[in-house]
Amino acid sequence: MLVLDYNPEVIKSFIKKKQPCLYGDIGDLETISRLNFKSVDIVVSTVSTQPYNIMLIQRVKEQNKDALIFVTTEEIDNALELYDTGADYVILPHFLGGEYVSVLLEESAKNMNKLIVAKLKHIEELKKRKRIGHEHPKHH
């Protein structure tokens, strides 16, 4: 796993853990072009900016079609678009706790079928929530 973060403190903590990491902004084309996803198994983006996540998904898939991609968003419509773009799982913080996502990451590394089942259930749940008018709260 490769961690990309714009927070120097986060990067320091990953360096101490000897976890591959890179300081930078996912929205910066130069940063994203420097990233090598060829040997990465899992990519996790905690940035909820839609165009950045779409660009990340496309870039990862160009280099490594087998990498698992977890991205974050705040809205159901965006989540469905990210799934259509190729995300393996979309995190909506209001609907999913971080602990669930951590377990899902661990489990998917061991058994891809669990991730596929979770993804399909999640898409159906999002479509159902959309039909009945539920939406992720917007931050102002």
pLDDT tens-digit series, residues 11-65:
898 899 888 788 888 888 888 888 889 988 888 888 889 999 999 999 999 999 9
Is residue 42 in a domain?
yes
Write the burial class of residue 57 (CB in 10 Å: 0-12 exposed, 13-18 middle, 19+ buried): buried
Is residue 123 in a domain?
yes
Q: What is the mean pLDDT of residues 3-17?
A: 84
Is residue 118 in a domain?
yes
Is residue 136 in a domain?
no
The CATH number assigned to the domain holding 67 equals 3.40.50.720
pTM, two decimals, is 0.71
Write the DSSP assignment of the chain as a string of letters. --EEES-HHHHHHHHHTT--EEES-TT-HHHHHH---TT-SEEE-----HHHHHHHHHHHHHH-TT-EEEEE-S-HHHHHHHHHHT-SEEE-TTTS-HHHHHHHHHHHHH-HHHHHHHHHHHHHHHHHHHHTT--PPPP-
Is residue 138 in a domain?
no
Is residue 137 in a domain?
no
Is residue 76 in a domain?
yes
Tally of domains within the chain: 1
- Residues spanned by the domain of 54: 3-131
Is residue 87 in a domain?
yes
